Chain A
Amino acid sequence: MSVLDAKIPEGPIKEKWTNHKNNINVVNPANKRLIDVIVVGTGLAGGSASASLAELGYNVKAFCFQDSPRRAHSIAAQGGINAAKNYQNDGDSVYRLFYDTVKGGDYRAREGNVYRLAEVSANIIDQCVAQGVPFAREYGGLLDNRSFGGVLVSRTFYAKGQTGQQLLLGAYSAMNRQIGKGKIQMYNRHEMLELVVVDGKARGIIARNLVTGSIERHSAHAVVIASGGYGNVFYLSTNAMGSNVTASWRIHKKGAYFANPCYTQIHPTCIPRSGDYQSKLTLMSESLRNDGRIWVPKNKADVEAIRNGSKSPVELSEEERDYYLERRYPAFGNLVPRDVASRAAKERCDAGYGVNETGEAVFLDFSSAIMRYGKEKANILGEADASKERIRELGEGVIESKYGNLFQMYEKITDDNPYKTPMKIYPAVHYTMGGIWVDYNLMTTIPGCYAAGEANFSDHGANRLGASALMQGLADGYFVLPYTIGDYLSDDIRTGPISTDTPEFEEAEKSVKDRLEAFINNKGTKSVDYFHKRLGRVMWDKVGMARNEQGLKEAIEEIRQIREEFHKDVFVPGEMNELNPELEKAARVADFLELGELFALDALHRTESCGGHFREESQTEEGEAKRDDNTFAYVAAWEWTGDPGKSNLHKEELTFNDIELKQRSYK
Chain B
Amino acid sequence: MKLTLKIWRQKDANDKGRLETYQLDNVSEHMSFLEMMDVLNEQLIAEGQVPVAFDHDCREGICGMCSMHINGEPHGPDRGVTTCQLHMRKFKDGDTIYVEPFRAKGFPIIKDLVVDRSAFDRIQHAGGFVSVNTSGNTQDANAIPIPKDDADKAFDAATCIGCGACVAACKNASAMLFVSAKVSQFALLPQGKVEAKRRVINMVEQMDKEGFGNCSNTGACEVECPKGISLENIARMNREYLKATILSE
Contact = CB atoms under 8 A, between A and B. Distances in A.
Contact of A76 (B48, B63, B81): B63
A126 interface: yes
A578 B57 contact: no
A638 interface: no
B151 A55 contact: no
A30 interface: no
A132 B51 contact: no
Contacts of B155: 134, 136, 159-160, 166
Contacts of B152: 134, 137
A322 B198 CA distance: 61
15 contacts: A66-B57, A68-B117, A87-B142, A139-B148, A141-B148, A240-B57, A275-B28, A277-B36, A279-B35, A415-B87, A478-B134, A529-B38, A573-B45, A573-B48, A582-B45
Given A55-B133, A132-B185, A127 B30 contact: no
A571 B45 CA distance: 8
Interface string A114-154: 00000010011111111110111111111100000000000
B134 A173 contact: no
Contacts of B134: 48, 51-52, 55, 127, 174, 478, 482
Interface string A260-291: 00000000000000110111101100000000
Contacts of A71: 57-58, 63-65
Interface in A208-230: 211
A312 interface: no
Interface of A: 48, 51-52, 55, 66-71, 73, 75-76, 85, 87, 120, 123-132, 134-143, 159-160, 162, 165-166, 169, 172-174, 176-177, 179-180, 186, 188, 211, 238, 240-242, 274-275, 277-280, 282-283, 408-409, 412-413, 415, 478-479, 482, 527, 529, 571, 573-574, 578-579, 581-582
A131 B151 contact: no
A162 B58 CA distance: 14
Contacts of B53: 579, 581
A412 B140 CA distance: 40
Contacts of B63: 66, 71, 73, 75-76, 240
B35 A130 contact: no
Nearest to B30: A274
Contacts of B154: 132, 134
Interface of B: 11-12, 28, 30-32, 34-36, 38-39, 42, 44-46, 48-51, 53, 55-65, 78, 80-81, 85, 87, 89, 110-111, 114, 116-118, 120-121, 124-126, 128-142, 145-148, 151-152, 154-155, 158-159, 161-162, 185-186, 189, 191-192
A138 B118 contact: no
A413 B110 CA distance: 30
Contact of A137 (B55, B137, B151): B151
A37 B186 CA distance: 30
A158 to B, nearest CB: 11
A129 to B, nearest CB: 4
Question: Which 7 pairs from chain A and chain B are nearest by CB?
Answer: A141-B145, A173-B129, A123-B136, A134-B155, A180-B125, A130-B138, A129-B141
B114 A579 contact: yes
A578 B51 CA distance: 13
B114 to A, nearest CB: 6
Given A55-B133, A135-B151, A581-B53, 17 more contacts: A68-B121, A71-B57, A126-B139, A127-B134, A131-B132, A131-B191, A135-B141, A137-B151, A141-B146, A179-B121, A277-B36, A412-B85, A415-B30, A479-B136, A573-B44, A573-B45, A579-B111
Contact of A573 (B32, B39, B51, B130): B51
Given A139-B148, A409-B60, A166 B128 contact: no
Contact of B142 (A143, A278, A412, A482): A143
Contacts of A141: 145-148, 151
Contact of B30 (A139, A165, A275): A275
Contact of A176 (B28, B36, B129, B158): B129
Most chain A beta carbons < 10 A, residue from B60, B89, B137, B162: B60
A582 B112 CA distance: 14
Contacts of B65: 66-67, 71
Given A76-B62, A277-B28, A280-B59, A130 B139 contact: yes
Most chain B beta carbons < 10 A, residue from A159, A173, A174: A173
A142 B89 CA distance: 44
A576 to B, nearest CB: 13
A134 B151 contact: yes
Contacts of B12: 578-579
A126 B140 contact: yes
B31 A275 contact: yes
B77 to A, nearest CB: 13
A581 B51 CA distance: 9
Contacts of B81: 412
Contacts of B50: 573-574
Nearest to A140: B145
A486 to B, nearest CB: 14
Contacts of A188: 118, 121
Contact of A73 (B56, B58, B141, B192): B58
B24 to A, nearest CB: 12
A412 B87 CA distance: 8
Contacts of B89: 415
A250 to B, nearest CB: 21
A428 B62 CA distance: 19
Contact of B42 (A172, A176, A415, A527): A527
Contacts of B185: 132, 134
Contacts of B121: 68-70, 176, 179, 186, 188
A278 B59 CA distance: 11
B124 to A, nearest CB: 5
Contacts of A142: 142, 145
A174 B56 CA distance: 25
